[in-house]
């Protein structure tokens, strides 16, 4: 029997980095250290409490969680202006990215990124029928910022996505370059969101500011963060944007791979 799978998905290999039985799983960028017992106990107690209310749909606004995430960003990234309404949380930053594509992408719309980069980006685009356009990075994996801003003007994407630090190269994007991307995006007819994927932000050099510090002046900036790497949770991810209003919580394993 033939099932009506979308033709462009037929025959595709499912995404899947090999799950190797080794200590350091560099191909999925997992933290090799398990969470401490105290964290495991706290999670177990919280799950127990949550289970008492499983007959109800969860609170769709998740204000406590979003407030806690804002407090974390204030402590870790010195961005003390975020409120719960600025935070969006989902089942990993993968899901946050998918939500962004569902909201902003779609047929006839383009997303621009800079290769080589995280191999899931084209998949979010494919799954939402969004065109995925890449500009090559320079030989040292930095962005040619003039070429990048020119590409934003030429391609007129609905979103520009840059990982900083980048996967798989570890390259950071200086804030002045984020600002240059934001300036170019502001001129795109119909609007363009700049998404800075800070999955590895906690590993940046001391004193380097998060792109989230630019949020107050740039309503078309979203910054995604995750608990799957530095927190050794491969579980909790969130994004911030001045325009986000709702939230949900993630608890799923990271399905990433390096390109
Ligand atoms: C650059 C980048 N962004 C996002 C993710 C996805 O992380 P999460 O576990 O939050 O879905 C990864 C995972 O490897 C990544 O490398």
Pocket residues: Cβ below 6 A from ligand 1 = 29, 92-94, 118, 163, 167, 197, 199, 226, 228, 234, 237, 254, 256
The pLDDT tens digits of the residues spanning 111-132 come to 999 999 999 999 999 999 999 9
Residue 33 lies in a domain: no
Confidence check: pLDDT of 74 > 50: yes
Which contacts of 250-254 are long-range, i.e. CB under 8 A and separated by 24 or more positions?
A: 250/89, 250/90, 250/91, 250/92, 250/95, 251/91, 252/91, 252/92, 252/95, 254/28, 254/29, 254/30, 254/92, 254/94, 254/226, 254/228
| Residue 98 vs residue 59, higher pLDDT | 98
pLDDT in tens, 32-45: 888 899 999 999 99
Atom of ligand 1 nearest to the CA of 229: 9
pLDDT band at 60 (very low <50, low <70, confident <90, very high): confident
Q: What is the mean pLDDT of residues 198-225?
A: 93
Q: Using the mean position of ligand 1's atoms as its centre, give its distance from the Cα of residue 56 in Å.
A: 31
Confidence of residue 237 (pLDDT cuts 50, 70, 90): very low
Which positions ≥6 away from 55 have C-beta within 8 Å?
A: none
Atom 9 of ligand 1 has which residue's CA nearest to it? 254
Residue 99 lies in a domain: yes
Q: What is the mean pLDDT of residues 202-227?
A: 92
More confident residue, 6 or 194: 194
Nearest atom in ligand 1 to the alpha carbon of residue 117 is 1
For all residues of the chain together, what is the average pLDDT? Answer: 87
199 assigned to some structural domain: yes
Q: Is residue 120 part of a domain?
A: yes
**Assigned domain for 203 exists:** yes
The percent of residues above 70 in pLDDT, for the chain, comes to 90
CA of 22 to the centre of ligand 1 (A): 20
**Section 249-257 average pLDDT:** 28
Question: What pLDDT is recorded for position 253?
Answer: 28
In a domain, 3, yes or no: no
Ligand 1, atom 3, residue with closest C-alpha: 199
Residue 239: burial class (beta carbons within 10 Å; 0-12, 13-18, 19+): buried
Instruction: Provide the domain count of the chain.
Output: 1
Q: Is residue 52 part of a domain?
A: no
Distance 94 CA to ligand 1 centre (A): 6
Distance in Å, CA 234 to ligand 1 centroid: 9
For residue 54, tell me if it sits in a domain: no
Confidence (pLDDT) at 81: 93
For residue 166, what are the domain limits?
60-240
Residue 82 is part of a domain; what is its CATH number? 3.40.640.10
Residue 243 has pLDDT above 70, yes or no: no
Q: For residue 52, how far is its CA from the centre of ligand 1 (angstroms)?
A: 32
Number of H helices, E strands in the chain: 6, 7
């Amino acid at each position: 029997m033939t099932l009506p799978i979308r033709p462009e998905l037929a025959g595709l290999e499912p995404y899947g980095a090999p799950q190797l039985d080794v200590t350091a799983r560099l191909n999925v960028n997992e933290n090799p250290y398990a969470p401490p017992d105290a964290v495991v106990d706290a999670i177990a107690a919280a799950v127990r409490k949550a289970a008492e209310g499983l007959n109800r749909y969860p609170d769709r606004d998740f204000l406590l969680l979003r407030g806690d995430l804002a407090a974390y960003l204030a402590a870790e990234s010195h961005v003390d202006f975020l409120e719960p309404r600025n935070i969006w949380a989902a089942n990993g930053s993968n899901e946050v990215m998918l939500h962004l594509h569902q909201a902003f992408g779609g047929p006839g719309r383009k997303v621009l990124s800079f290769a080589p980069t995280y191999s899931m980006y084209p998949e979010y685009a494919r799954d939402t029928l969004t065109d995925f356009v890449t500009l090559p990075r320079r030989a040292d994996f930095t962005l040619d910022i003039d070429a990048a801003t020119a590409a934003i003007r030429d391609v007129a994407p609905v979103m520009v996505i840059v990982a900083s630090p980048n996967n798989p190269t570890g390259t950071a994007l200086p804030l002045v370059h984020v600002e240059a991307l934001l300036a170019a995006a502001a001129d795109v007819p119909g609007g363009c969101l700049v998404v800075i994927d800070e999955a590895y932000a906690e590993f940046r050099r001391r004193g380097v500011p998060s792109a989230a510090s630019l949020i107050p002046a740039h309503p078309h900036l979203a910054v995604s963060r995750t608990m799957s790497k530095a927190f050794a949770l491969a579980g909790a991810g969130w994004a911030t944007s001045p325009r986000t209003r709702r939230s949900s919580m993630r608890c799923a394993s990271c399905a990433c791979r390096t390109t």
